[in-house]
Amino acid sequence: MVEKETGLRAEASLKCPYGVLLKVLGRPHTLAILYSFKVDSALRFTKLQKELELQPKTLTARLHELVKFGLLTRKSYDEIPPRVEYSLTQKGRDLGQMFDGMYFWATKYQVPDGADGQADAKSKKKT
């Protein structure tokens, strides 16, 4: 029975055209990072770090993944102190349509904050 479930899972992941995208977007802080670029077109590492309050190691890992996936570009300037800017690629900008659709769906069906159960768990701990 386990072999059959594993086989179905593997087959489904191969046939799912957006599985890899969801895996990338599902990583911690990735959506917040991408949203930041919708607000500002080009961002420096330090500005992103301060605005999102992320550890440098975490932000570096996420930015590297997004560059590797082709959603961001990284431009390094030969200056002292070093300056690096990130911006959305066309591929990354095209995701905006998807996010707009998700926003429309979430507001239409009134998806509440904490719908994943985390908000409820936090409020139970306080009482």
Each domain of the chain, given as residue ranges in start order, spans 28-111
Note the pLDDT of residue 57.
96
Q: What fold is seen in the domain 28-111?
A: Arc Repressor Mutant, subunit A (1.10.10)
Beta strand extents in the chain (DSSP E only): 42-44, 72-77, 83-88
Whether 14 shows a pLDDT value over 70: the answer reads no
Whole-prediction pTM value? 0.72
Is residue 81 reached through a cis peptide bond, with omega within 30 degrees of 0 on the bond before it?
Answer: yes
User: pLDDT-based confidence at 90, cuts 50/70/90?
Assistant: very high
**Choice between 84 and 123, residue whose per-residue pLDDT is larger:** 84
Q: At what angle do helices 30-39 and 90-108 cross, to 10 degrees?
A: 100
Q: At what angle do helices 45-52 and 30-39 cross, to 10 degrees?
A: 120
Integer Cα distance of 11 and 30 in angstroms: 27
Integer Cα distance of 38 and 92 in angstroms: 10
